[in-house]
Structure 1
Amino acid sequence: MPRLRRDVGIALACGAFVGLMVGAAYAAVPFYTWFCRVTGFGGTPQIAELAPSKVLDRRITVRFDSNVAPGLPWRFLPEKTAIDMKVGEVVTAYYRVVNTSGEPTSGTAGYNVAPTTTGAYFTKINCFCFTEQSMAPHETREMAVVFFVDPSIADDPDQDDLSTITLSYTFYPTRNPSSAATGGTTGARGGSSG
């Protein structure tokens, strides 16, 4: 009887361990995503609702990179390839997106900044990347991103020589496109078909 009790205890402990590992595996992705958003790790930009309270004289060039993953028939380009701005200044940049197919399509943008250490300071107020974007056949749309470089970057000695940040987006196709007629237009500046 003691041996049976011991075997049951070991089986329960092994089962609990396996359950804990499976739970940790499922929690790893959301935890990592949360960690990156909070710390800027891996070049993940921050999100804010308000502009900073001060603007510094220090200037930084922000370059814009745009990509479209295979399987999404879009043309996606920034209106300007770079902007020279002051640290703390709120800037709006526009991207032009064209659905080159004759079908409704939907995509979601992934994003990061380089160098990756600047993710803790590059802050978005509004962005098309926060929602799925649905496009009607041959639709053209301008999408905006509103951002600033946090003035606290001046307190980081590792960023003293920083002169350029690259904001990079990649649009990925979504599996079940929603109705392109209504479309997700967060950050959009209007659109047209044709």
Structure 2
Amino acid sequence: MFALMIGASYAAVPLYELFCQVTGFGGTTQRAEAASETVIDRMITIRFDGNVNAALPWQFRPEHRTVTLAMGETGQLAYVATNIADGPTVGTSVFNVTPFEAGVYFNKIQCFCFTEQRLEAGESVEMPVVFFVDPDMDKDPNLRHVKEITLSYTFFPAEAPVKPVAARSEDRTAADRL
């Protein structure tokens, strides 16, 4: 049962990515090539959340919990990931936006999601996100009441744990004699 759970955690990321791309489920955001050309007066607070699957020995957090900006204004924030294992590990993240209906208006210009991230033992890295909220959200009658959007990332193991290099056969033979 445990092996099945570990296997499912490795498969979760690519399956979730595929599902979200096909269905637009779970607050799937838009990918933008450039910043918005329009900025309006309506302010929106973006809340940032970071999580790690129990099978990945990392710490992961946003450098700030919230940022408030005008719709259409470009924002940038970094998440910090630290490998707390004794050896290298590889993780990949999935994300969602809540409320889910706001995902279509949340545009990411730069993101680390769905990209394998390798961290050496004890290594910490900053992972930037560059984004804006499309001012057209202000015209959506279902979202006029929304004053806050949450961007949440969860990191999962990307592959089987990195194994140490096996000893040479003559070293193993000598060790067996002891």
Alpha-carbon contact 1:43-1:115 (below 8 Å) kept: yes
TM-superposed deviation, 1:177: 6.3
Q: What secondary structure, in the 3-state scheme, does the structure 1 residue paired with 2:101 have? A: helix
Q: Which amino acid aligns with 1:118?
A: A
User: Structure 2 regions of 5+ residues with no counterpart?
Assistant: 1-14, 163-178
Q: What secondary structure, in the 3-state scheme, does the structure 2 residue paired with 1:94 have? A: strand
Provide closer, same or farther for how the CA distance between residues 31 and 66 of structure 1 changes in structure 2, counting only shifts above 3 A.
closer
Partner of residue 48 from structure 1, selected from 32, 50, 54: 32
TM-superposed deviation, 1:136: 0.7
Q: What secondary structure, in the 3-state scheme, does the structure 2 residue paired with 1:128 have? A: coil
Taking the aligned partners of 1:95 and 1:130, their CA distance within structure 2 comes to: 15
TM-score (norm 1): 0.71
Taking the aligned partners of 2:17 and 2:51, their CA distance within structure 1 comes to: 25
Provide closer, same or farther for how the CA distance between residues 149 and 107 of structure 1 changes in structure 2, counting only shifts above 3 A.
same
Taking the aligned partners of 1:42 and 1:105, their CA distance within structure 2 comes to: 27
Which has the larger Rg?
A: 1
Q: What secondary structure, in the 3-state scheme, does the structure 2 residue paired with 1:42 have? A: coil
Q: What secondary structure, in the 3-state scheme, does the structure 2 residue paired with 1:51 have? A: coil
Partner of residue 153 from structure 1, selected from 128, 137, 140: 137
Taking the aligned partners of 1:102 and 1:139, their CA distance within structure 2 comes to: 10
Q: In the alignment, what sits opposite 2:123? A: 139
TM-superposed deviation, 1:34: 2.9
Q: Which has the higher helix share?
A: 1
Q: Please state if 1:79 is matched with 2:66.
A: no
Q: Please state if 1:33 is matched with 2:34.
A: no
TM-superposed deviation, 1:114: 0.5
| Paired residues for 1:95-134 under 5 Å | 95-134=79-118
Provide closer, same or farther for how the CA distance between residues 30 and 93 of structure 1 changes in structure 2, counting only shifts above 3 A.
closer
Percent of paired sites with the same residue: 46
Tell me: higher relative CO, structure 1 or 2? Use CA pairs within 8 A at least 6 residues apart: 2
Q: What secondary structure, in the 3-state scheme, does the structure 1 residue paired with 2:87 have? A: coil
User: Structure 1 regions of 5+ residues with no counterpart?
Assistant: 1-27, 179-194
Taking the aligned partners of 2:85 and 2:18, their CA distance within structure 1 comes to: 37
Q: Which amino acid aligns with 2:128?
A: A
Taking the aligned partners of 1:74 and 1:29, their CA distance within structure 2 comes to: 21
Q: What secondary structure, in the 3-state scheme, does the structure 2 residue paired with 1:101 have? A: coil
TM-superposed deviation, 1:155: 1.5
Taking the aligned partners of 1:69 and 1:99, their CA distance within structure 2 comes to: 13
Q: Which amino acid aligns with 1:75?
A: Q
Please give the root-mean-square deviation of Cα atoms over the aligned residues, in Å: 1.9
Alpha-carbon contact 2:46-2:68 (below 8 Å) kept: yes
TM-score (norm 2): 0.78
